[in-house]
Structure 1
Amino acid sequence: MELLLIFHIVFSPEVMNAQASLDGIWNMGQDNTTIEITEDNVYEGRIASSDNTNAKIGNIIPKDVKSVGGKWKGKMYSPKRNEWYDAVIALEEKQLLLTVGSGFKSKTLKWTKE
């Protein structure tokens, strides 16, 4: 019984999500824009490349991302609105699901690992 409980705790989605690394190059799925996410106590991501000539290479998009209560939480920048929003990030295999919220509205973005 103890072994089953330990197995459940160690391999629960919350624990696995919190232990997984967000490091790497992620394709945002629009304008062939890629974000390079790195960790230095907290995760942040910078625009690495884009087919969009208006994209500002090096700009930070997600920042202050850390594991909180088994979930990744941080801030997400919207270049169109020039604002930061709260975000919850889930890692599912080679996809990042970024749920960005503003008041009662939220939107989930899907990024793919390259």
Structure 2
Amino acid sequence: MAGTGVVQLHRQSSMEPWGFRLQGGRDYRQQLCVKKVNPGTPSAGQLAPGDTIVGINNANAQAMTHMQAQTMIKNSGNNLALTVMRGYGGPDRIQSIAPKGPVKFQPRR
């Protein structure tokens, strides 16, 4: 089901991982989205693969690079608010996280 909503995540300690893998960002020319959710973590049952992240702690995330989004998430303490769009992605629509564009380096032969 498609829709936008705010997901409030809470954890006991900053040593506890949020439990989701982030993919995309402006530098990858893809929307930020959830690639994977680990069971038994604060994200389990709250996020799903394919959820598009459009906001992080009330900040617009649609123009953020991957690193900017990661930094905001890491610096959020023990409470994290994610504004997500559901139903637009899904495990079958998640693409590779490889950057798009020209290759900057070639492997040595």
Instruction: Choose 1 or 2 for highest CA Rg.
Output: 1
Superposition TM-score, scaled by structure 1 size: 0.25
Higher strand share: 1
* Higher RCO by CA contacts (8 Å cutoff, separation 6 or greater): 2
* TM-score normalised by length of structure 2: 0.25
